Structure 1
Amino acid sequence: MTLTLHEHPFAAYCWKALVALYERDVPFERHFVGGEADRARLAELWPMASIPVLVDDAAALTLPESTTIVEYLDGHGDAPPLVPADPAHALQARLWDRVSDGHVMTPMQKIVGDNLRPDGRGDPEGVAEAHAALDRAYALLDAHLADGGWAAGPAFTLADCAAAPALFYARIVHRWDEERLANLTRYFAALTARPSVARVIEEAREHRHLFPLPWPDYVP
């Protein structure tokens, strides 16, 4: 066993790496990052002290950042690559990975983060902008997904690893119109039914008390 993932099972970007590990059926050890001692150790590995961080002892390699980790994992296991070999298809996988991270995850985190601020220190204008940004992202994704399939085509890729946590948490803070945006709704149902994604959701269940907003009834 040479791979160790430093992570927290409720952290959205850790989900992205975990989905990839489960998709590729790669053996790995998990190091839970919780208290100050864990954070101090994490900062020794990666000065930004952000998770996830993947350590490959055999290769003497430490990799931060979820997208980089997913790409690296294509060199492990026998499953189809999460970054397709075809350059045009790979470009689409990387593009829609960026869409999920930048246009879904980022505004979602703005909304969540605002609820962690002390009373009177909120940013209502920024939160309103984040909700509007999610509406734009949902409309973009719904149009893009009109032909069915996964986020970057017929195969499950890096783009879907990114979409899983982004859409799961964004739907909690800003639910889309599931009838009007039927393509996005269909895709999300397929995504959360995927065994790798369903496993990550289930593993995070016991940590839902950490979420700073009420957990909605429509998220089982």
Structure 2
Amino acid sequence: MTLQLFAHPFSSYCQKVLVALYENDTPFELRRLSHDRPEIMDELRAHWPIGKFPVLLDDGRPLIEASIIVEHLDIHHPGPVRLIPAEPDAALEARFWDRFFDNYVATPQNKFVDDALRPPEARDPLGVERAGAMLDTAYAILDRHMAEREWAAGDSFSLADCAAAPQLFYADWTHPIGDRFPAVTAYRQRLLRRPSFARCVEEARPYRPLFPLGAPDRD
């Protein structure tokens, strides 16, 4: 059975899937998207005309959206690290925190990035201000949640942590967590020490000049 992942190493949503693959040493072929190989993007669009990534091919069947891909891997390519808990309520908790990181951390963080890519006359300072307020609210919620726990959902690393790792990584670059939310900072540091995500960080390191806001000289 052949897995092909259309992805870019610097993308947070691609890293979410890569963490899941690396957690279980799942064999796959990376179809790395790049400007000097447009045929790979053409191939991706043949499977998913919207052109968003990551896209996973499993024996030719396309799987779309990072959360769905991780669930597919957990069902059809399971390993020792189960990313969706077997108990239904625990599974719902993992799925909730997965959505939390995508909707309330990644979405406002991306507002900063998108605004930086606009020409100066088209900038949206009010939208950026509101995105910063949303991130502060999300950090505060997460700080309370993580005060006495290691991972985001239950006692084990899960889908929720696959989502958290890249989203908190880039959010802290964009709108620093700082000393205001010590439990969030400690959680981000644990994620950075997780071998699966540490590998993603290293693989993405050469692409840091692409960060529109200017990547800080730190992880």
Aligned to 2:80: 79
Aligned to 1:174: 175
For 1:43, give the aligned amino acid. R
For 1:210, give the aligned amino acid. L
- Work out the CA distance in 2 between the residues paired with 1:2 and 1:61: 10
TM-score, structure 1 as length reference = 0.95
Q: Following TM superposition, by how much is the alpha carbon of 1:81 offset from its aligned partner in structure 2, in angstroms?
A: 1.2
Q: Any stretches of 5+ residues in structure 1 without a counterpart? A: none
Residue-pair matches, total = 216
- Work out the CA distance in 2 between the residues paired with 1:146 and 1:199: 26
Aligned to 1:201: 201
Is the partner of 2:185 in helix, strand or coil?
Answer: helix
- Work out the CA distance in 1 between the residues paired with 2:166 and 2:81: 21
Q: Following TM superposition, by how much is the alpha carbon of 1:37 offset from its aligned partner in structure 2, in angstroms?
A: 3.3
> 1:49 and 2:51 equivalent?
yes
- Work out the CA distance in 2 between the residues paired with 1:45 and 1:31: 13
The percentage of counterpart residues that share the same residue type is 51
Q: Which moved more, 1:5-14 or 1:183-192?
A: 183-192
- Work out the CA distance in 2 between the residues paired with 1:126 and 1:9: 28
Residues 14-51 of structure 1 deviation map (CA, whole Å, 9 limit, x = unaligned)? 00000000012100000011234333221111111100
Contact 1:107 1:134 in 2 (8 A): yes
Q: Which moved more, 1:99-108 or 1:207-216?
A: 207-216
In the TM superposition, structure 1's runs of 4+ consecutive aligned residues that sit over 6 Å from their partners are none
Aligned to 2:129: 128
Q: Following TM superposition, by how much is the alpha carbon of 1:136 offset from its aligned partner in structure 2, in angstroms?
A: 0.3
> 1:140 and 2:155 equivalent?
no
- Work out the CA distance in 1 between the residues paired with 2:81 and 2:214: 38
For 1:2, give the aligned amino acid. T
TM-score, structure 2 as length reference = 0.95
Q: Following TM superposition, by how much is the alpha carbon of 1:65 offset from its aligned partner in structure 2, in angstroms?
A: 0.4
CA-atom RMSD in angstroms = 1.2
Contact 1:83 1:157 in 2 (8 A): yes
- Work out the CA distance in 2 between the residues paired with 1:78 and 1:120: 50
Aligned to 2:214: 214
Is the partner of 1:83 in helix, strand or coil?
Answer: coil
